């Protein structure tokens, strides 16, 4: 560290950051009260999602489920529908499961005890720290990616932030920085600085309230820090999907299993094809799609390749090729499948990929883009 001692460096960060935040903080819906339920929802929604995207979801969600008790009592399908488009649907399920715990164990009031909050389903160290500090002003750290980036640069920390040990160390550092009685504002100030000024690329150092003592900037390393090892790229998966229609123009869809990826969401029937060359082949693909779905009890006859789509999950990259199809015999659809029209479509919860495809289909845009007429 240059020109200033460690204690003074920490004190300067806390003082300068708080002064800036109280003037420059954004007016966000979840900041308009200290309601722990609202803060909890916002923090779950904000994980890996931009603030601008979250705001309308937060407002709709809290209008539909205004209290913990309302969320706990709601049908899961309604919760998933309200979450539709945010992705990471396990977070919505965990949120509802935790709401039920709050109702059963704590009388519908979010507890202000660290052990109790940390014990709720889906609540990790960051979320518990955010709830306790922002809602209850408890001196608990809330260390996310934004905060680790700020601390890495300000203190010129070379440790890999992808390592759990580094996160633990930064939680300890963040705890030391919290001024007495200012946990709520200070933690939000750290998050705000990382989101608005100390951004991952091209940080706005000249506008930064703590630039004077930022050790990373003084060392010319603000673009280099934080150090983060690269995650493995998501595994590619190639899938064929059937857009199967009946004479009335309804589409056959199915519900995913109650456990696992995208649990209980609706989708077009589809199958994984291990060989990309077969997935691409207009000769091999329809036979493979028909055979795989027949093994699941769904007899269809693929007719036309109509669209391609893709979606990236944390560990998977789906490449989906869509074929129009018709039912090949008079057998009823297998369990978990149903016929839907546009009205039913709007009532069900879908992964983004299939919501987009079916929205385009029901509007006629999918067929128009493919240069074919809908059956």
Q: Which residues are annotated as catalytic?
A: 43
Distance CA 349, CA 194 (A): 33
From 93, 128, 92, 91, select the one nearest 110 (Cα to Cα): 128
Q: What is the CA radius of gyration of the chain?
A: 25
What sign for the dihedral angle of Cα 341, 343, 346, 349? negative
| Per-residue burial over 184-207, b = 16 or more CB atoms within 10 Å of its CB, e = otherwise | bbbbbbbbbbbbbbbeeeebebee
β-partners of residue 266 are: 255
| Per-residue burial over 228-242, b = 16 or more CB atoms within 10 Å of its CB, e = otherwise | beeeeeeeebbbbbb
- Give 212's DSSP letter: G
Longest dimension (CA), the chain: 82
DSSP string, 245-278: B-TTS-EEEEEPPSSSTTTT-EE--EEE-S-HHH
The pairing of strands 235-244 and 316-327 is parallel
Q: Indicate the helix (H) or strand (E) that contains 71.
A: helix 68-73
- Give 240's DSSP letter: E
């Amino acid at each position: 560290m240059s020109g200033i001692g460690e204690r003074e460096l920490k004190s300067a960060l806390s003082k300068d950051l708080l002064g800036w935040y109280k003037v420059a903080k954004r007016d966000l819906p979840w900041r308009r009260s200290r309601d722990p339920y609202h803060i909890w929802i916002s923090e779950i929604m904000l994980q890996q999602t931009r603030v601008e995207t979250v705001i309308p979801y937060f407002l709709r969600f809290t209008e539909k489920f205004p209290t913990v008790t309302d969320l706990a009592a709601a049908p899961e399908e309604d919760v998933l529908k309200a979450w539709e488009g945010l992705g990471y649907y396990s977070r919505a399920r965990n949120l509802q499961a935790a709401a039920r715990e709050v109702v059963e164990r704590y009388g519908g009031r979010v507890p202000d005890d660290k052990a109790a909050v940390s014990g709720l389903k889906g609540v990790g160290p960051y979320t518990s720290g955010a709830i306790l500090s922002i809602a209850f002003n408890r001196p608990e750290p809330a260390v996310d990616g934004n905060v680790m980036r700020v601390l890495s640069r300000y203190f010129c920390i070379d440790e890999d932030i992808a390592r759990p040990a580094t996160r633990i160390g930064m939680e300890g550092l963040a705890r030391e920085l919290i001024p007495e009685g200012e946990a709520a504002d200070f933690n939000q100030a750290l998050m705000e600085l990382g989101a608005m000024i100390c951004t991952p690329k091209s940080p706005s150092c000249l506008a930064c309230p703590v630039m004077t003592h930022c050790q990373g900037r003084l060392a010319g390393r603000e673009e280099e820090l934080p150090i983060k090892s690269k995650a493995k790229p998501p595994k590619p998966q190639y899938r064929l999907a059937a857009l199967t229609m009946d004479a009335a123009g309804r589409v056959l869809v199915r519900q995913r299993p109650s456990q696992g990826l995208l649990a209980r969401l609706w989708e077009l029937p589809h199958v994984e094809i291990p060989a990309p060359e077969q997935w691409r082949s207009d000769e091999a693909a329809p036979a493979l799609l028909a055979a795989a779905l027949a093994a699941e009890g769904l007899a269809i006859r693929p007719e036309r390749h109509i669209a391609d789509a893709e979606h990236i999950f944390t560990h998977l990259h789906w490449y989906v090729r869509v074929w129009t199809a018709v039912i090949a015999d008079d057998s009823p659809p297998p369990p978990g499948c149903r016929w839907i029209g546009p009205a039913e479509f709007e009532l069900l919860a879908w992964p983004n990929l299939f919501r987009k495809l079916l929205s385009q289909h029901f509007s006629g845009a999918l067929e128009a883009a493919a240069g074919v007429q809908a059956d």
